[in-house]
Amino acid sequence: MADEIENNSLPTRSPERAAELAPRATEAARALVEAVRLVNAENATDQDKKKAREALKERLEAFLGEEPVLCLAVGEAGLSFTDAGGAPAAGEDASRMFGHGIREIRFGCGVTAGELEGLVETLGLGGRRTDVHDDLVTLVADRDFAHISISSVDEYEDGEQAQTEEIISQGDESDTLWEMDRFRERLARGLTGTLPGELAPPVPAGAAFGLPDDATQLFELAVIFLEIMDNEKDHGRYGRVVDSLGKALDLLFTMGAITHATELVRRLKGISFRTEHLERLAKVKALLGWASAPGTIERLGRYMSKGDNEAEQAGAYLKLFDKRVLPAMITLLETLTNRGARLIVEESIVVQCDKKGAALLPYLEHETSHVVASVVSALGVIDDPASIPALGGLLAHKDYKLRKEALRALANNEYGKATDYIASAMKDEDPGIRVQAAKLIVERAPSMAYGMLVDIVSDKKFGERKFDEKKSFYQLIGKSGGQRSVGFLSEKFKKGGLLYSSNREEDRACAAYGLAAAGGAEAKNLLKSELDSSSKALKGACTEGLRQMTGKK
């Protein structure tokens, strides 16, 4: 809030200036009353409410553009400008503000749309919500607005005023006499009092205090619940404390304090391991059951959708549980649209499965493609040999993305059986997958790869493939075969070679790339021999190949 408001040092205005400002202030007062009225109006749409708030902001800005603060007096008749008379902005809501003890509302420069929305919503609460037990003064105070403040009166309740005088009076009349005798006695005995203590004046605390927010305090309280659970002898009280802990956990979710909730559940799991009393254990397990229930995980999903940080926090929470929550996790995957959040769910699933993929396999049949993709991805990280056939089977799936994901998952798998499936993917209908599979095979089993690649390249129809794919395959032949491949490649490269295809100059260029990958003097000489080729593609490939070979040194 502006210093002027806090210090009660509002600028004084001349009557002329006040009269000049009055119309704008009155407009703002009316806009406020109207915006509050619409909060509870049954026939008002969200659009109407938004327009009313925008109108309020506009009116306030019209005033605050020239003055630092607008003060609206709240009277029985309605809201009016404090510096000038005029017809107040009246209405049921204005009367309610007065009835609840609000006497003035102040707006400072810089008031935000969010603050106005909060104020309007809060002032409207008293008229609609039957579950709100606080009055408007308390509710507004609870909002901690930076640019809005109110003044209020706290009316006496029945009989309070009469008691006040008694409480604040100066006490028994006899005490008002100065009874100096004992004092003089003390003086006579030399007891004149005590000199200031030896302690030096305190040093002001330099560092800012770590001020906890609502969620941190709730977490601190929940930790006390856990402490009590560890030491409580009375079973009845133990049960009540567990119930309170459940409420605390629920509140933490409502507040979006997932990091605190995570720590709490982690500690609760610790308690479950060391609880021997069956009835108590049942209580703790019931709470843990709530913590991992589908409804709770669904709430977590809504939180994850808010952003990357939120998703990260939720991920830490989800990792506390085991594969029993998988159905809820799959539902979560169905609802999440954010790829980053889905990745975090996948990571959590990996932890929950604890290196065993079997529980996930049924979900490979899921009807939603992105869910299956996530499951496949998780299976890849889990690296369980039992899931290889299922992943291999997916390489025949009609969905290109799933085949690609399955290939990636198999690539993560270190077991030999996965290599066979990967090799089969070199015959996929998609060139990207074929090349990827070929690269993987070269990495995993270079000696086996060479022969397979030569077979593929030697197929009559291979020449019909696009240049980039052919180039990749030839390079992989050179890479996997090394000097062994130079003979094969040179026959493809040389004009009139055994494997030369006269009508495909670009195949020679691809072979040039293969030779460059194979390396060696012979390959180099072959490439040099075609540096002056009339074929642009071949000349370019030889130049590029030689450059790569030189770089390889």
Partner 1 sequence: MNSKSTDAAGAYARAFIRVRRIYEDAAAGRPIESRWLKRAVLSLAEAAVADEARLLRLTALRGYGDELPRHYTNVCVLSLSLGKRVGLSGRRLLRLGMAALLHDIGRSGMPDDLFIGNSEPDDDALEDLNTHPVKGFDLLLKLGGLDKDTVPAILVTYEHHMNLDGTGYPPRDKARQPDIFSRIVRIADNYDSSTSTGVYGRLALRPDKALELMRKRAVSYYDPDILSVFALMMGAYPVGSLLLLSDQTVGVVCEAGGEGDGYARPVVRLVAKVPSHAGEPEGAEDGEEGLPIGGGPPVDLAEKDAAGGYAREIAGSLDPSLCRLNVNAALLQPHTFTRQGALR
Give the footprint of partner 1 on residues 222-281 (CB under 8 A). Answer: 223-224, 227, 231, 237, 240, 244, 247-248, 251, 255
Tokens 């980053």 — which residue? 340
Q: Which of residues 503-542 bind partner 1 (CB under 8 A)?
A: none
Determine if 149 is a binding residue for partner 1 (CB under 8 A): yes
56 in Cβ contact with 37 (< 8 Å): no
Residues touching partner 1, count (CB under 8 A): 79
* Cα distance between residue 120 and residue 52, in whole Å: 10
Query: Helix 484-493 vs helix 521-529: angle between axes, to the nearest 10 degrees?
Result: 10
Tokens 């619409």 — which residue? 38
Q: Give the pairing type, strands 69-75 and 102-108.
A: antiparallel
Q: Which is nearer to partner 1, 164 or 525 (CB)?
A: 164
Indicate which single residue of 16, 180, 365, 464 sits in contact with partner 1 (rule: CB under 8 A): 180
Determine if 131 is a binding residue for partner 1 (CB under 8 A): no
Q: Which is nearer to partner 1, 201 or 551 (CB)?
A: 201
* Cα distance between residue 299 and residue 308, in whole Å: 16
288 in Cβ contact with 265 (< 8 Å): yes
The strand ranges marked E within 219-330 are none
Determine if 190 is a binding residue for partner 1 (CB under 8 A): no
Tell me which residue of 310, 397, 393 sits closest to 345, measured CA to CA.
310
Determine if 152 is a binding residue for partner 1 (CB under 8 A): yes
Q: Which stretch binds partner 1 (CB under 8 A): 40-48, 131-139, 262-270, 487-495?
A: 131-139
Residues 6+ apart with CB under 8 A from 279: 235
3-state secondary structure of 201: coil
With 0-12 / 13-18 / 19 or more C-beta atoms within 10 angstroms meaning exposed / middle / buried, residue 496 is exposed
Torsion from C-alpha of 171, 172, 178, 181, nearest 10 degrees:
-120
444 in Cβ contact with 422 (< 8 Å): yes
Indicate which single residue of 85, 86, 110, 212 sits in contact with partner 1 (rule: CB under 8 A): 212
Three-state SS letters, 117-132: HHHHHHHHHHHHCCCC
Determine if 43 is a binding residue for partner 1 (CB under 8 A): no
Determine if 194 is a binding residue for partner 1 (CB under 8 A): yes
Indicate which single residue of 76, 112, 156, 459 sits in contact with partner 1 (rule: CB under 8 A): 156
Q: Which is nearer to partner 1, 172 or 464 (CB)?
A: 172
Determine if 409 is a binding residue for partner 1 (CB under 8 A): no
Indicate which single residue of 3, 16, 42, 157 sits in contact with partner 1 (rule: CB under 8 A): 157
3-state secondary structure of 35: helix
The site string for partner 1 over 302-341 (x = CB under 8 A, - otherwise) reads ----------------------------------------
In the complex, the smallest distance separating the C-beta of residue 275 from partner 1, rounded to whole angstroms, is 18
Determine if 205 is a binding residue for partner 1 (CB under 8 A): yes
Per-residue DSSP letters for 70-94? EEEEEETTEEEETTS----B-SHHH
Beta partners for 9? none
Determine if 12 is a binding residue for partner 1 (CB under 8 A): no
Q: Which stretch binds partner 1 (CB under 8 A): 34-42, 91-99, 164-172, 505-513?
A: 164-172
In the complex, the smallest distance separating the C-beta of residue 243 from partner 1, rounded to whole angstroms, is 9
Determine if 202 is a binding residue for partner 1 (CB under 8 A): yes
Q: Which stretch binds partner 1 (CB under 8 A): 16-24, 139-147, 319-327, 350-358?
A: 139-147
Determine if 193 is a binding residue for partner 1 (CB under 8 A): yes
Q: Which of residues 81-120 bind partner 1 (CB under 8 A)?
A: 101, 103-104, 106
